[in-house]
Amino acid sequence: MADTATAQGFEPPALGEPYLLTPGPLTTAYSVKQAMLKDWGSWDGDFRAMTADMRRRLLALTGDRKSEYDCVPLQGSGSYCVEAMLGSFVPKDGKVLVLANGAYGLRAAQTMKYLGRAHTLIDKGDYLPPRGDEVGAALDADPAITHVLAIHCETSSGILNPVPEIAEVVKAKGRKLLVDSMSAFGAVPLDVNDIGYEAMVSSANKCIEGVPGFGFVIAKKSALEAAKGNSHSLSLDVHAQWAAMEKTGQWRFTPPTHVVAAFLEALKMHEAEGGVAGRGARYTRNRDVMVAGMRELGFETLLSDRWLSPIIVTFFCPAHEKFVFNRFYELMKDKGFIIYPGKLTVVDSFRVGCIGRMDEHVMRRVVEAAKQSLDEMGVDTAAPPATAIAERAKLAA
């Protein structure tokens, strides 16, 4: 892996370690890992200053010029934050319209079931995008709906859902928007001046390129105030976490101190790269170089270019009889790249992530590794089966 230092000075993950072409945990910078080589007292002023700095930096990414929003970090993985957001901002007598087109939308609906709060679901299947007009029709049909939950990038297919279009309808119909921007925040714009969400969630180990251990909610202060007493859960109560943090500067319970230190370093690197625009440009370039190369090998993407996110891309498995995904996975790993199985129910697929500490030079090597792996398997074309193409035609319909 020693040859991977690139024109932009991206160091390889570590000697002998593979790149993680996965949507988090992902490959992080050496300096991000290095930032964890120290212990902090959770109540100490130094760590409180780190927490405050982190919240300020995250808010600076939202476009909030009127100081309308605040940021509340929360221990746990991203799903903990989704559950915290739903339990805290949706009142016990509220009702959520969940927009699903993949695993994360369905998980949010399942979370509503656990919460025992009213919800309804638009389920578009594996990857079809929920559109503004159908959301509008659903809101007209059910005046009890108070909130709409949208998934920004549905990481299971890699589709970039049309959140601006959905936000416009939700606003026009006088409802509140909640966004799971877990895998997009920091690389895809989600400006509060355009989207005006009530609350959104993301986590440390996605586009900001930190290590896993916590997530964060960014919400209107008015929503945070109104959330008092809503939560079903002590540890997932966003209002309580916010109120305690405002008062003492501390997290309510043991914070993931090392993860916060790493995240702060990751945020500084994000800023140095040019913020959301810079990070988004690198990931877009990663995607474009990787997709073009894979298409040259005969691979086809599930989604047409209009819906491809710069986060992760789904490819159909080749139809060739000698192609076996598990073997392809191992051959890619031998060459230094961890890819990701697909999540489609109808046809076989796999995914390649574009996020993490890597650039287009690395992506060219990913394509080269895929070519070699196919050769070693005796697969001379990566063209997908006809069933895959038929499935994809639904998107155009």
Ligand X SMILES: *Cc1c(COP(=O)(O)O)cnc(C)c1O
Q: Which residues bind ligand X (CB under 6 A)?
A: 23-24, 77-79, 82, 104, 151, 155, 180, 182-183, 203
Q: Which is nearer to ligand X, 24 or 356 (CB)?
A: 24
What does DSSP say about strands 214-220 and 199-203: parallel, antiparallel, or unpaired?
antiparallel
Which single residue brings its beta carbon nearest to ligand X?
78
Closest separation in Å from C-beta 341 to ligand X: 15
DSSP E strands, the chain: 19-20, 69-75, 95-100, 118-123, 147-151, 153-154, 159-160, 176-180, 199-203, 214-220, 312-316, 337-338, 340-341, 349-353
Question: Are 152 and 184 contacting, i.e. CB atoms less than 8 angstroms apart?
Answer: yes
360-396 b/e with 16+ CB inside 10 Å = b?
A: bbbbebbbebbeebbeebebeebbbeeebeebbeeee
Which residues face 308 on adjacent strands? 159
Nearer to ligand X, 31 or 79 (CB): 79
Q: Which is nearer to ligand X, 186 or 384 (CB)?
A: 186
CB contact at 8 A, 253 and 235: yes
- Which CB sits closer to ligand X, 183 or 349? 183
Rounded to the nearest 10 degrees, what angle do helices 45-60 and 238-248 cross at?
120
Contact at 8 Å (CB) between 237 and 224? no
Between CA 238 and CA 167 the distance in angstroms is: 23
**Smallest gap from residue 295 Cβ to ligand X (A):** 25
| Least distance to ligand X, CB of residue 24, Å | 6
State which H helix or E strand residue 295 sits in. Answer: helix 275-296
Torsion from C-alpha of 286, 287, 289, 292, nearest 10 degrees:
170
* Nearest residue (CB) to ligand X, 147 versus 365: 147
CB of 78 to ligand X, least distance (A): 3
CA atoms of 59 and 47, how far apart (whole Å): 19
CB of 154 to ligand X, least distance (A): 6
- Least distance (Å) between residue 122 CB and ligand X: 16
- Closest distance between ligand X and the C-beta of residue 155, in Å? 3
- Tell me the C-alpha distance between 154 and 159, whole Å: 6
**Nearer to ligand X by C-beta: 62 or 309?**
309
The DSSP 8-state label assigned to residue 3 in this structure reads: G
Closest distance of CB 256 from ligand X, Å: 13
Indicate the residue among 112 and 331 with the shorter CB distance to ligand X. Answer: 112
- When the beta carbons of 18 and 24 are compared against ligand X, the nearer one is 24
Residue 71 CB, nearest distance to ligand X (Å)? 18
The DSSP 8-state label assigned to residue 142 in this structure reads -
Whether the Cβ atoms of residue 257 and residue 40 lie closer than 8 Å to each other: yes
| Closer of 70 and 180 to ligand X (Cβ) | 180
